[in-house]
Amino acid sequence: MVSALLSCGALADKPLSVAIAYFDNNSLEAGYEPLARGLADMLITDLSNVQSLQLVERDKLNLALDELKLSKTKFIDPKNALKLGKGLSARYLLVGGYVVSAETMRLDARLFDVPASKVMFSEKVEGKKDEFFALEKELVELLIKALDVKLQLTEKTKLRSNATESFDAFSNYAAGLTAKDAGDEAKARAHFEAALAADPNYRAAKTATERLAVIFKRDDDAKVQTADAMRKALDPKAKDFPQKVATLLSQLQEGKTDEQKRKVELLLWLAENDLTPPAVNGLPAVAMGGLQIVYRHTGDPTQWENIPKACEYFIARYPTDDYPKSYCRGLLMSLKAEATRDRAEAMREWDEEREEDLKKLDPEDWRVSLHKNEAVMRKLIALYASKVKK
């Protein structure tokens, strides 16, 4: 039985902030390690169906783990759990571990009231490995009961359903999440395909491509939401401002249109406010991000006059750093070759290339992102140029 229940009547109008930490693999086999992320992801997915709960996204959890240096820590330790909960600004934090032995499995869990620094419950559920999905549902029920959440009929129905009943499918999906978090997209896709092979009906879409798109879109949407929250929370006066800017720029991918848009908008905000954070770990993240965008437009005749000035901007802002000078040396050589062409012909080719790329290329190709964000990128380059004293 749950050792303590929480009355949430006073907070009924405000969703309860809940974070699910990655579970500890207490089994003897390292092969079960991916279940740490998979189980947390499944719990987050299920509990996201409850309107009175606000679940912390996995991307935000990953960022907190890195910043707090807890990525390799056992979360069952109350001190570490509370440290993570506070770092996530979560009211409640669920931590736990699992043991897989032969054909049996045990899930251990603790629910923390973070502000009160106390354990709401400490429970375990166990059964056969093939009953994993039923065990996960038991954990969901324990959490719902502890938080005294009153479920609507539609919420109850959603919580009873599973994305899959295949442990092999789920294991590969969990391994895919681990690979994706490590930045290995190819390995992630291979595991997701293996998950679909084990259970062709995994996820709701009709085709393998669509099912993968559902998986990636959900993670990408969560990542963008996390990036938006981080951007709003940036404080130029804070000591960790350079690190947070560098982290945000490194996480937003060039090949994803929405992420690239946010990267450019962040760079615009920095330039508009004359903010050029110093290099972090020897890398000038702002100069690297800005000059990469400038380089992408060496074939764009509308920016031929702005590009040299943009280089001046970064060299002046980072006078002791070799990166802007070295990068701009190669960039200006490329520009020189382009600018010898007839401007009207070059403009026509630029427009034709955009039209062809948008028709034929994969949506996640960096060139598609370039074309779709062309207007805001041109604005950024022009802003850099305008900052140079004449």
- CATH code, domain with 119: 3.40.50.10610
Examine residue 229 and state whether it is found in any structural domain, yes or no: no
Radius of gyration of the chain (CA): 25
The last residue of one of the domains, among 129, 162, 195, is 162
Per-position DSSP letters for 319-358, written without gaps between them: TT-HHHHHHHHHHHHHHHHHHTS-HHHHHHHHHHHHHHHH
Quote the CA–CA distance of 308 and 328 in Å, as a whole number.
8
pLDDT over 50 (residue 7): no
Using the 8-state DSSP alphabet, how is residue 290 labeled?
Answer: H
| 187 falls within a domain | no
Beta strands in 180-334 (DSSP E): none
18, 83 Cβ separation under 8 angstroms: no
How buried is 241 (Cβ within 10 angstroms: 0-12 exposed, 13-18 middle, 19+ buried)? middle
- Tell me the sheet residues that pair with 55: 18
DSSP bridge pairs for 126? 106
Among the listed ranges 79-88, 242-251, 274-283, which one has the minimum average pLDDT value? 79-88
Domain boundary among 116, 139, 162: 162
- Please tell me the distance from the alpha carbon of residue 89 to that of residue 92, in angstroms, as a whole number: 9
Question: Where in the sequence is the domain holding 85, given as residue range(s)?
Answer: 9-162
The candidate with the shortest Cα–Cα distance to 47, out of 180, 149, 178, is: 149
The answer to whether residue 183 is domain-embedded is no
Q: What local confidence, expressed as pLDDT, does residue 73 receive?
A: 58
Structure tokens at 383: 């802003």
Residue 191 lies in a domain: no
Please, which residues have CB within 8 angstroms of residue 201's CB and are 6 or more apart in sequence? 164
Please say which residue of 162, 187, 211 terminates a domain. Answer: 162
State pLDDT tens for residues 197-211.
888 776 533 344 455
Percent of the chain surpassing pLDDT 90? 36
Q: Which of 147, 16, 6, 18 is nearest to 85 (CA)?
A: 18
242 and 152 in a common domain: no
Higher pLDDT, 77 or 38: 38
pLDDT per residue as tens digits for the range 112-170: 888 888 888 888 999 988 788 888 888 899 999 988 888 888 888 878 777 777 788 88
The structure's pTM equals 0.51
Q: Are 234 and 241 in contact (CB under 8 A)?
A: yes
For the chain, how many structural domains are there in total? 2
Confidence of residue 74 (pLDDT cuts 50, 70, 90): low
Comparing C-alpha atoms, which of 351, 246, 326, 255 is closest to residue 289? 246
